[in-house]
Structure 1
């Protein structure tokens, strides 16, 4: 990087110039030229686990709420189901949302960011 001084009245300002030749991989422009990923870029295991977490979490929440309304004094039956249902539903819905955003994104840059946020090991 080179610094070139400019004089404007009493204040010295510096203009930054990038002298490196290989910084083109960091620009967003290169991502626009690349084709979009297909949904096959996300492993099927991740999609299956996400769907399973969401469905089982909502099922446990419904069963827990039904037991709560049926027998509110017997909290030993419904409290663990509500707790496990909440713990399963939160990541299931979050990653389902991320996969949906990935499928409908219009730029490769967005898709790269979403893939890096997913729990995928390459």
Structure 2
């Protein structure tokens, strides 16, 4: 007596599912693994290839703010270091430039890296994960 019966899933695929009995746990285990593999293979074959997002999905406001933060932070750090090297006695005045510059570089660099990863992403699912991390309203 065969313990397999045919079922229609979504009326497109016909797969075999094991009937489970409490008497035979070993036969259930071996056949269920092959059925799971068949199901995943069939679902992979049915999926259409997803097209990647274009860069215009990200608002221009986010891109400009990210680049602006990074560039302005770098400028503040450079000027702070130059002024500090020229006049080391006034460290308190130039320390604020260094602190504000570094606070601007951190988010600017982080989101710039995310934008670069978005452009170089191989699949749409990776791009969707990156879009979830970006500060988009």
Provide the TM-score with structure 1 as the length reference: 0.74
User: For the pair shown, which has the larger CA radius of gyration, 1 or 2?
Assistant: 2
> C-alpha distance in 1, partners of 2:126/2:59?
18
Equivalent in the alignment of 2:118: 102
List, as ranges, runs of 4+ consecutive aligned residues in structure 1 with deviation greater than 2 Å: 4-8
Task: Write the mapping of 1:51-66 to structure 2, written as runs, cut at 5 A.
Answer: 51-66=67-82
2:101 maps to which of 75, 78, 85: 85
Unaligned runs of 5+ in 1: 19-26
Where relative contact order (Cα < 8 A, 6+ residues apart) is larger, the structure is 1
Count of paired positions: 103
Provide the TM-score with structure 2 as the length reference: 0.66
1:7 CA drift (Å): 4.9
Unaligned runs of 5+ in 2: 1-19, 37-43
Equivalent in the alignment of 2:89: 73
Q: CA RMSD in A?
A: 2.5
Which protein has the bigger helix share? 2
